[in-house]
Structures are given as C-alpha cells and as structure tokens.
C-alpha cells in the first residue's frame, strides 16, 4: 500500500506541476518563438510580405490575415511584428471612406487543438501622437471561445512618434481561456460605448495602425493528465481516511 501511495502521489505531483509550468511564448519579434516555419520572414527592420496563414506552437495554432473577411497576406518586420500587407503595409489598419466600402484588416490567431489561457499580449507601433502629430491610436483584441465573444480588450497608444527610441509598445495582461484571438482597429462608436466619459477628439480609426508582437499562453491540461491527477488526489484522500477510521 505504501508503494501505491508513493506512486500515486508522484503522479499527482507530476501532473499538477506540468499543468502550471507550460507557459509558451509566441513571438513575432526578435527572437522569433513558436512559429513553425519562418522561411522568408524578416531578419531585421526590413519589411516582407508573407503567405496568408502560418502554423504556430507545433501545429496547435494558426495565425492568418484578412481584409474585409477575405484572405490576405501577412506582413512582417522583425523589429515590429505582424501586420497585414495592404494600406500601411507593416501594420493592421482600417480605412473608412464615406459612401464607400470600408477596408477593414484583422489578424486572427486560432488555437486549433485545445484551449489556451492567454496571460499577456504585446502590440507595437501604437502611438499616442503618430506621424500626424495629433492622432491617438487604439487597438482592439477580441477573445473568443466556441465562437462566443468572451471580452474585448482595448489598448491606447501612450508614446510619441517623435521620440526615435520608442516603438509604440502597448501591453495587455490578464487571464482568459480562449480558442481564438482577433486583432483589429476599433471604430469610434465602439470605443464610445466602452468609454462613455472619455473624449475622443484626437481619435481617427483611419489613422490608427498597430502590429502584433508577442503573446504568453498556457495550454489547459490534457484531459488524460487532468483525470490522472484527480484520480491520484482521490486515492490519497481515501488512503488518509482509511488510516484514521
């Protein structure tokens, strides 16, 4: 019985430790991490046009580019990250023209084999004052699970383009169990609903752009490992009860 107890205890500890220690970084900036095939990707500050979609996390996720929900090409700069190859070629942007169809870009990251806890997301080239000298830039990140929108995070630029040492970093942190992330430039009406007391006098969606730089994600425990851990903990509890009955 003692040997069984030790074996079960070790199994439970192993599963518990692995479930909490599998934090993965997906990086589209230097150094590239968890991108399965980086053939043809940028090696510095140069801009390159890529394919529509790439596998991440050893095939457990994909990243794709879209314009008006149609397939588009991703773009990449190692110093900035991923954008959509149209308009601002190295960033995600949105162009709203009165009386015409909008050109709306977004980047979609889908976790294809299991859900992931998303704990941090970094975007770049998101400035408070961009090249126009006045416009503030905003980014939106929508979190989905089973096609249901869980929440949307909004990031506002906080750096001045005129400072050459800055790259427009903005960071979201939290804990959301998601199977899809959608990156896009929000509309003014969308932001006004979320922040009704904020003045958006300097916001113009057509002048907001940003690049996806880095994510921190953790896979949920595999069902088998989780079951084994629960069986182990249950066996430990029953063993303790039998000792004291």
* Predicted local distance difference test score (pLDDT) of residue 37: 97
Cis, bond preceding 31 (omega within 30 deg of 0): yes
* Predicted local distance difference test score (pLDDT) of residue 221: 75
Contacts of 158 (CB under 8 A, 6+ apart): 128, 170
CA dihedral 103, 107, 113, 115 (to 10 degrees): -110
Q: What is the DSSP string of 13-56?
A: HHHHHHHHS--EEEESSSSPBSBS--TT--SSS--EE--SEEEE
Give Rg (Cα) of the chain. 22
* Predicted local distance difference test score (pLDDT) of residue 155: 96
In tens, the pLDDT along 65-85 reads 999 989 999 999 999 999 999
* Predicted local distance difference test score (pLDDT) of residue 222: 55
* Predicted local distance difference test score (pLDDT) of residue 100: 54
* Predicted local distance difference test score (pLDDT) of residue 61: 98
* Predicted local distance difference test score (pLDDT) of residue 128: 82
* Predicted local distance difference test score (pLDDT) of residue 2: 43
* Predicted local distance difference test score (pLDDT) of residue 224: 39
Contact call for residues 214 and 122 (beta carbons, < 8 A): yes
In tens, the pLDDT along 4-41 reads 433 433 443 434 334 445 899 999 999 999 999 999 99
State which fold the 23-219 domain adopts. Jelly Rolls (2.60.120)
* Predicted local distance difference test score (pLDDT) of residue 236: 40
Q: Which residues of the chain have pLDDT under 70?
A: 1-21, 96-102, 130-134, 161-166, 222-245
- Cα–Cα distance between 52 and 74 in angstroms, integer? 6
Specify burial of residue 125 (Cβ count, 10 A radius: 0-12, 13-18, 19+). Answer: buried
Place of tokens 């709203």: 96
Domain ranges across the chain: 23-219
The model's pTM is 0.81
């Amino acid at each position: 019985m003692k040997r069984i107890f030790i074996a079960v205890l070790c199994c439970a500890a192993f599963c518990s430790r692995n479930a909490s220690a599998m934090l993965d970084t997906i990086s589209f900036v230097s150094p590239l991490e968890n991108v399965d095939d980086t053939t043809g990707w940028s090696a510095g500050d140069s801009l390159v046009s890529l394919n529509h979609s790439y596998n991440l996390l050893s095939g457990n996720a994909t990243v794709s580019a879209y314009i008006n929900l149609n397939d588009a090409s991703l773009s990449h700069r190692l110093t900035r990250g991923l954008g959509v190859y149209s308009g601002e070629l190295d960033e995600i942007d949105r162009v709203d023209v009165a009386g015409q169809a909008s050109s709306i870009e977004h980047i979609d990251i889908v976790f294809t084999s299991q859900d992931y806890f998303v704990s941090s997301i970094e975007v770049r080239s998101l400035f408070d004052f961009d090249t126009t000298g006045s416009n503030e830039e905003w980014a939106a990140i929508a979190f989905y699970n089973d096609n249901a929108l869980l929440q949307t995070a909004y990031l506002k630029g906080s750096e001045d383009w005129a400072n050459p040492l800055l790259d427009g970093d903005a960071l979201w942190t939290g804990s959301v169990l998601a199977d899809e992330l959608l990156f896009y430039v929000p509309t003014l009406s969308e932001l006004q609903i979320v922040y009704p007391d904020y003045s958006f006098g300097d916001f113009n969606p057509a002048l907001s752009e940003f690049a996806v730089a880095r994510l921190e994600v953790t896979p949920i425990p595999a069902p088998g490992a989780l079951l084994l851990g629960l069986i182990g903990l249950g066996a430990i509890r029953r063993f303790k009860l039998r000792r004291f009955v």
